[in-house]
Amino acid sequence: MKTNLFFFFALVFLLAAGCTKDVYDLPVGTPSTEAPPVNQAHPMKDSINAIVGRYIAKGIPGIQVAVKNADGWYFANGGYARIEDQRALSSEMVNWYFSLTKIYTAALIMKEWESENINLELPIDNYLPQEVAAGIEGSDRITIRMLLNHTSGIVNLTELPEYQLWQLNRPLEQPTVEERLAMVYGKPLMFEPGSDFSYSNTNYLLLQNILEQVSRHPYESLLRSKILAP
């Protein structure tokens, strides 16, 4: 018992020692290009500012909005970049975007569906590499639609102890797609596919893999050519 307690407190000490820095206080890179010119007479200016103000009034700590159309660019900001010292959010600030990319991934999937390159109702083992499909429990009955709406039952890789340990050791890095997928291989489903809902980052990692398999292009290239550049 004493030995177990010793190792427990030793582990707590090591984890605490490794978490002395706040990763959000570390310096971030500056944008590689200058911000585009803003059209201060943009016809959507007043409506965008009103929407931002409405949600800030509801308690959202900070909002950034960028709009680009035939009338040019317009940026709107509201709230704080740092609540503690009430530092106002501005368009020049670099932010962590986290799961915003899921919107882009879903849009890319729907573009492939519109081009009839994929069927949302087919099991994902029709599109995944054989070794990936073999590692995912239920890949023969989980559909692309289930990945999109988080009803696949696949475990959320970011909640797995092995993923969290990886992040503790390297907080400013991300494991490769292959390393992340390997963490969920052989894991049992949380529920029968399509019978329930549970948010899972693994779903969108698999969608990224499917996009690359179907298009034969890297995800970054698809994102640039079909979403960002147009």
Ranges of each domain in the chain: 20-96, 100-228
Alpha carbon distance 84, 98 (integer Å):
21
pTM of the model: 0.69
Say if CB 74 and CB 48 are below 8 A apart: yes
Q: What is the pLDDT of residues 132-177, one digit of tens each?
A: 999 999 999 999 999 999 999 999 999 999 999 998 998 888 899 9
Token reading at 59: 């308690």
φ and ψ at 4, to 5 degrees?
A: -65, -40
Q: What is the pLDDT of residues 8-41, one digit of tens each?
A: 444 444 444 445 445 445 555 555 556 788 899 9
Backbone dihedral region of 153: left (phi > 0), alpha (psi from -120 to 50 degrees) or beta? Answer: left
Say if CB 205 and CB 181 are below 8 A apart: yes
Alpha carbon distance 74, 37 (integer Å):
8
Handedness of CA 222, 44, 98, 188 (dihedral sign): negative
The dotted CATH code for 100-228 is 3.40.710.10
Is 70 exceeded by the pLDDT of residue 222?
yes
Alpha carbon distance 78, 70 (integer Å):
24
